[in-house]
Amino acid sequence: MDKVFGKHSVRAVLLARPGSVKRMILAGKESYHSDLLKLARAAGIEPEFMAWPEFRRVGEVSDDDKHQGVVVLTRPRPLLTEADLGGLADARVVLALDQISDPQNLGTILRSAAFFGVDAALILKNRAAEVSPLVARVAVGGAELVPTYRVTNLARSLEILKGMGFWVYGLDERGESTLAQADFDPKSVLVVGAEGEGLRQRTRQFCDALVRIPGGRPGLESLNAGVATAVALAELFRDRPVPGPG
């Protein structure tokens, strides 16, 4: 089973896939968890309160995990692959990640993607971070709200999306135009490269346009992948509807 901890991440699970929850354990005062208790019981889930030592043992967490006294054990998230990309025919914005290996960056990226309303994220199966409990916590619920596709060949996946009418934009410091100068298509894929290395050459070849974030100076030419993605999505969604509160 998967393990999800932290109030925001658990709340997202209860909202997005309550039927997957097999066990919910809590520690601390009931009043602190009142919002989660309401969501859980509405879904037919009866939480288990435990003393702190038992909670840490059963939940297999330490205080370094910033669990906030709540852990849920769930069935694994549905595994989406290249074979499922056809389900994105009606999508408007897809995020493709080229070898993002830092879990902190992946969590930050998924949080930004959920905030802006990205329809899906493509994550490489190899040489990349997985959506682990740490990533889910950093994403503060975002990992539950953005469908993720584990793909083995990013170039082939981009080709499939292009065949469905998507225009592919690679975020690259050598881009011909800035984000503000780009005329983003109604069906857009934003490709973000690895920390430090950027997009691989083969990935760049499958992009229809390369765009860059203006700025930088000698010794500090780029932003990390998490921050860069947030900046790029803010520009891409400038004139698009974004999800309401909730």
pLDDT (tens, 9 = 90+) of the chain, 246 residues, equals 899 999 999 999 999 999 999 999 999 999 999 999 999 999 999 999 999 999 999 999 998 889 999 999 999 888 899 999 999 999 999 999 999 999 999 999 999 999 999 999 999 999 899 998 889 889 988 999 999 999 999 999 999 999 999 999 999 988 989 999 999 999 999 999 987 778 999 999 999 999 999 987 777 777 899 999 999 999 999 988 766 654
Backbone angles phi, psi at 18, to 5 degrees: -60, -30
* Own/partner pairs, 183-188, CB within 8 angstroms, 24+ separation: 184/236, 186/92, 187/91, 187/92, 188/92, 188/93, 188/94, 188/236
Global pTM value: 0.89
Give the pLDDT score at 197.
77
**First-residue to last-residue Cα distance in the chain:** 27
Give the pLDDT score at 220.
78
CB atoms near residue 52 (< 10 Å): 11
List the CATH code of the domain at 2-74.
Answer: 3.30.1330.30
Q: Which of 225, 239, 223 is nearest to 182 (CA)?
A: 239
Give the pLDDT score at 243.
64
CB atoms near residue 58 (< 10 Å): 15
List the CATH code of the domain at 82-236.
Answer: 3.40.1280.10
Give the pLDDT score at 3.
93
CA angle, corner 181, sides to 177 and 185, nearest 5?
100
Query: What are the sequence ranges of the domains in the chain?
Result: 2-74, 82-236
Identify residue 150 by its one-letter amino acid code: R
Alpha carbon 139 to chain centroid, angstroms: 6
CB 115 within 8 A of CB 84: no
Q: Which residues, other chains included, contact 239 with Cβ-Cβ below 8 Å and sequence gap of 6+?
A: none
**DSSP readout, 113-133?**
HHHHT-SEEEEESSSS----H
Q: Which of 138, 113, 148, 153 is nearest to 233 (CA)?
A: 113
